[in-house]
Structure 1
Amino acid sequence: MAKLFQMDQTQDATSRIVGTLGYMAPEYAMHGCFSAKSDVLSFGELVVEIITGRQNGSFNSEEEQEYLSPTWNEGRTLNLIDPILKRVVSRRDVLIRCFHIGLLCVQEKVADRPTMASVIHLF
């Protein structure tokens, strides 16, 4: 969607919503309003998928949500990371950092999401 922007443009609206629903920002899927932070959400969805080894949307059930928050909050983040990824990446702190960045990007409120420039600096 970033390709739709002019150089000095920061937000816009479309008359027709297109894309893969699981990767669309809620403000775009519901109202057709997109911004640079819409792409940030899509990026975060991909990062979370890669780190967890779970398909987008698999944390949507109430049972999964109940598991995700306490696991993250209690410092058991490694339990959420794909076991295969844990075997091939020796630095667990890098995996946790990437997961945390992904979670920052997928926040529902646009204002709470970082800019892509900020995301780059976080890596």
Structure 2
Amino acid sequence: MPEIRLNCLVVPSDSVGRITQQHVVTIKINNNESVHSLRSQIKKEHTPRFDNIPIIEFEVRAIPLNSDKVLASVNAEGVMISVNSGRQDEGQALIPMLNILDHFPKQPSEKDIHIIIYLEIKTPSSGM
């Protein structure tokens, strides 16, 4: 069961300011695990920030990858520009039941952003 490393850009719906590469978290996971397992691992490894967010609110999208490591930095910049312009359709939505192997049969470039996690953060409504 090969373990792969995925760079995941976390984009909360309530973000203040620009999304930067500091919003990237790296997850090591067996590629025979499900996309749902990836969501669970991200949530677990980054508590308490995600404690109050239901797992079904983690929308996981795969980014098209470059095999050329030089182009990988272009990928990362392009993803940042897209996310900061408000696009929330970057990449392909991943179905939670499918295995990571279905999308990442081998280790992608370490410089790419592989996954975007869009978090729908609901703020409690004030009773005023």
TM-score between the two structures when normalised by the length of structure 2: 0.30
Higher strand content, 1 or 2:
2
Structure with greater contact order relative to length (CA < 8 Å, sep ≥ 6): 2
Greater radius of gyration (CA): 1
